[in-house]
Amino acid sequence: MKNGAQEGDPVLERFHFLVNAPALFNAVTTAAELRIFAFLSERSGARAEEIQVFCGLPPHQLRVLLQAVCATGLLDRREGIYHNSRVAEELLAADDEPDSWGHILTGWKEVYYPAFSHMTTALRAGTNTALAAHPGDEPTLYGRLAHNPPLEEVFHRAMTAFTLRSVDALIEQPVFDGVRHVLDVGGGDGSTSARLVARNPLLRSTVFDMPSVSRLASDAEAGTYPDRVSLMPGDIFTDPFPTGPDAVLFSHVLEIFDEDSILLLLSKAYAALPTGGRVMVYGYNVSDDETEGVFGARLGLYFNVLASGRGMAYPARDYERWLRKAGFEEVSTVSGLPYEHGLSVGVKP
């Protein structure tokens, strides 16, 4: 081996894994789409011949696929019988549930990863050139998806699944104690709000998102709370924030934009809130020294190559600085939440 890189060096091992990861990602996604994890879960394991009858792949192609998924560790094979690993059982077996990782994999396959082949061009150009693959003239992916309802559904199913996997850390925070009415800005299909009102019986929520997205909310979990989750279709930049709520939540929203837009949204929140009202910024944070965070890395690249041409999973100290600049006090962050998440909070004096 040249240049001193040693077998056993964890960086070398990680390099070898990551250069093969795009193929393995697609193998796992294909296995999920063929419902192999669900089948193995129902049967508590199966032989290749049984999996072949179930999914219909030619035997040789199934052999290749099963070897790849076993190489990831998600499946194992003991005495010729394939089993789900514990992780596959927990993340992928219940594939008809709204929080299945299967939806996330399909969303990343259909939306994120085709765009990443444009990364060098987009980063050089300083804008989201991969957006050209999506019809429309809106400057962000969120606007353009309205022209492609099937893809918009895939996208929001993936986002909802991820939200449901990460929302518990948010709804358990004491910062919601005493809040009566939250404005959930960019609240998507209302899944976060539905979980919030389920957990806090005196709370109601207004979900503010684009009209095409608001339409998805009635069929999602939010539709089960028609009296306590209301929808406000509109544009969060050009339409005013309603007054009345005593808290404003930005969940996975501010990171899409640059500093000027973030300050504009925080100022709108400040203007709409009463004295003592709280603003909450929930989402991915890279580490303060900007060297750690694989979820944050993927997200920042996705924003810049495809979604908005700007933004990143900012470190918490950036949000704290912007909250103070917008006039909020008692600014603090709960960091280290699952999936590299943090919650930064401020209070209107």
Residues that bind ligand SAM (CB under 6 A): 142, 159, 163, 186-188, 192, 209-210, 213, 235-237, 251-253
Q: Which residue has the tokens 């990171």?
A: 255
* Shortest spacing between CB 96 and ligand SAM, in angstroms: 20
Smaller CB distance to ligand SAM: residue 129 or 166?
166
Which CA distances in Å does 315 have to 118, 224, 327?
Answer: 26, 35, 20
DSSP string, 100-112: -HHHHHHHIIIII
What number of other Cβ atoms are within 10 A of residue 220's Cβ? 18
What number of other Cβ atoms are within 10 A of residue 313's Cβ? 23
* Shortest spacing between CB 177 and ligand SAM, in angstroms: 21
* Shortest spacing between CB 72 and ligand SAM, in angstroms: 27
User: Chain centroid to CA 66: how far?
Assistant: 28
Smaller CB distance to ligand SAM: residue 122 or 170?
170
* Spatial distance between the Cα atoms of 266 and 231, rounded to a whole number of angstroms: 20
Smaller CB distance to ligand SAM: residue 253 or 334?
253
Smaller CB distance to ligand SAM: residue 42 or 239?
239
Smaller CB distance to ligand SAM: residue 91 or 145?
145
* Shortest spacing between CB 100 and ligand SAM, in angstroms: 16
The identity of residue 159, as a single letter, is M
* Shortest spacing between CB 164 and ligand SAM, in angstroms: 9
What number of other Cβ atoms are within 10 A of residue 121's Cβ? 12
Helix 191-199 vs helix 149-166: angle between axes, to the nearest 10 degrees?
Answer: 30
Smaller CB distance to ligand SAM: residue 88 or 307?
307
Backbone phi, then psi, for 284, in 5-degree steps? -75, 140
* Shortest spacing between CB 327 and ligand SAM, in angstroms: 22
* Shortest spacing between CB 210 and ligand SAM, in angstroms: 4
CB 286 within 8 A of CB 314: yes
Smaller CB distance to ligand SAM: residue 52 or 267?
267
For the sheet containing 341-347, what is the strand order? 229-233, 204-209, 181-185, 247-251, 278-284, 341-347, 329-337
Smaller CB distance to ligand SAM: residue 9 or 235?
235
* Shortest spacing between CB 154 and ligand SAM, in angstroms: 14
| Alpha helices by DSSP H, the chain | 10-33, 36-43, 48-55, 59-72, 86-91, 101-107, 113-116, 119-125, 141-144, 149-166, 168-171, 191-199, 211-217, 259-272, 294-302, 316-325
Parallel, antiparallel or unpaired: strands 278-284 and 247-251: parallel
